[in-house]
Homo-oligomer: A and B are copies of this chain.
Amino acid sequence: MPPIIDPSGTATSPAGFLAGSTFAGIKTYGTGKLDLGILASDRPCTVAGTFTKARLHSASVDINRPRTADGRARAVVVNSGCANSSTGQRGLDDGALVANWVAEKLGAPVDEVLICSTGVIGHFLPMEKIEAGTAAIALSPDGGAEFASAILTTDTRPKHGSVRVGPYTIGGCAKGAGMIYPNMATMLAFLTTDAPVEARYLQRCLSRAVDRSFNLVAIDSDTSPSDTALLFSNGAGGGEPISAGGLLAAEFAEALEALCIHLAKEMARDGEGATRLVEFRVTGAANEAEAAGLVRLLSISYLLKSAIHGADPNWGRIIAVIGRSEANYDENDVTVAVCGHTVFERRGPTEVDPLAVSEAMKGDTVTIDVSLGSGPGSATGWGCDLSREYVTINADYHT
């Protein structure tokens, strides 16, 4: 039985985690009145992280990478509205100073406090506002829901959830909405657990879960320089550390993956301007990597995303993507189904009624199944449609 996600769970659902948020005045657009949050454990944690592969990345990524390298960190401060990216040395200094303020506030070692910033690239952090905001924040064990709101930019709603593993809980939240084409991490995801997990195994579980969830989501084709996923384990639930091959190890990995997939789908469903969630399922690829590559290519097609917006069963656009992909297949074996209707097989169209397919595409979720018939590789990913609203949001986000 797959793990059951509680969509009302948050990053403070696991024992020993606190969070607090405030409106510091950084964010001048988007949803909600919160733009600064702190998530912290009341005791030391092991930590795992995955970060953007983009070479020009935000100051936060430069700060967090060495601070997570030893597998120890216990808190993160997050602001929305300003990415502190492409801000040079001043951006690095600013980010480190904010983390210092939070370390002092929490009485935590400074190298165990992380920082994430999301929003417009190329602007400096408004330091006075953030200093005042940091001082104003009160942390509580019920702060997870507000924290999930404080990290949002153009998202229309928070994305959070939790899942049980034996006596333990894993909780978390994520932000999405735009510049979402993750490569080794998502825009921002913060995960917590009261299970004690050995640091290397924690990283292995996170990397695998991210590869099968956030790394298979696309809202546009634009990888963010701030992409970060963090997973804190504080052991507040007691017991012996979970490690590779040991008790609850497989269950922990599976539950974490299920929670990340839940958050990833929520991100896709709330993509900028999105009206539909799209699930891309590729089977019969030579291997999982080829299947994932085709999922990613399908999910960024302007034409396919537009057709889905119009509930238009124009499957030729799917064929065009397969045709230019690097996947291996024999053309005769390729089949394509839209919302369960097979539209292409044996190199040509089927007899399916386009109007029936169009009707099926008008639901909340559109599924695209591609079977390549060349091997055991499969992958599932998520995206959304392309709407006029996407353009409206992104044509004047900055000025």
Give residues in A with beta carbon < 8 Å to B: 53-57, 83, 85-91, 120-123, 178-179, 183, 220-225, 300-304, 306-307, 309-310, 312-317, 319-324, 331, 334, 343-344, 346-349, 354-355, 358, 386-388, 390-399
Given A221-B221, A387-B391, 9 more A-B residue pairs with CB atoms under 8 Å apart are A86-B347, A87-B348, A91-B348, A121-B315, A121-B320, A222-B302, A306-B390, A310-B399, A316-B398
B312 touches A399 (CB 8 A): yes
B312 touches A225 (CB 8 A): no
- The CA of A297 and the CA of B123, in the complex, are separated in Å by 24
Which B residues are in CB contact (< 8 Å) with A334?
56
CB distance from A171 to the nearest CB of B (A): 30
Number of copies: 2
Selected A-B contacts with CB under 8 Å, 11 pairs: A56-B322, A91-B348, A122-B319, A122-B344, A122-B349, A303-B394, A310-B394, A310-B397, A312-B395, A313-B399, A314-B398
- The CA of A312 and the CA of B398, in the complex, are separated in Å by 7
A310 touches B179 (CB 8 A): no
A316 touches B399 (CB 8 A): no
Q: Given known contacts A306-B391, A316-B83, A324-B183, is B300 in contact with A221 (CB within 8 Å)?
A: yes
CB distance from A325 to the nearest CB of B (A): 8
Q: Given known contacts A302-B390, A309-B391, is B55 in contact with A324 (CB within 8 Å)?
A: yes
Name A386's contact: one of B87, B300, B391 (CB within 8 Å). Answer: B391
Which B residues are in CB contact (< 8 Å) with A399?
310, 312-314, 354-355, 358
Q: Given known contacts A316-B120, A358-B399, A399-B312, is B223 in contact with A303 (CB within 8 Å)?
A: no
- The CA of A303 and the CA of B302, in the complex, are separated in Å by 12
Name A306's contact: one of B85, B224, B395 (CB within 8 Å). Answer: B395
In the complex formed, the residue of B with least CB distance to A303 is B222
Which B residues are in CB contact (< 8 Å) with A304?
222
- The CA of A54 and the CA of B319, in the complex, are separated in Å by 10
- The CA of A108 and the CA of B386, in the complex, are separated in Å by 47
B88 touches A309 (CB 8 A): no
CB distance from A326 to the nearest CB of B (A): 9
Name A348's contact: one of B53, B86, B221, B358 (CB within 8 Å). Answer: B86
In the complex formed, the residue of B with least CB distance to A315 is B122
CB distance from A161 to the nearest CB of B (A): 28
Q: Given known contacts A320-B121, A323-B54, is B314 in contact with A222 (CB within 8 Å)?
A: no
- The CA of A38 and the CA of B313, in the complex, are separated in Å by 32
Which B residues are in CB contact (< 8 Å) with A316?
83, 85-86, 120-122, 398
Which B residues are in CB contact (< 8 Å) with A83?
316
A302 touches B86 (CB 8 A): no
CB distance from A254 to the nearest CB of B (A): 31
- The CA of A323 and the CA of B183, in the complex, are separated in Å by 12
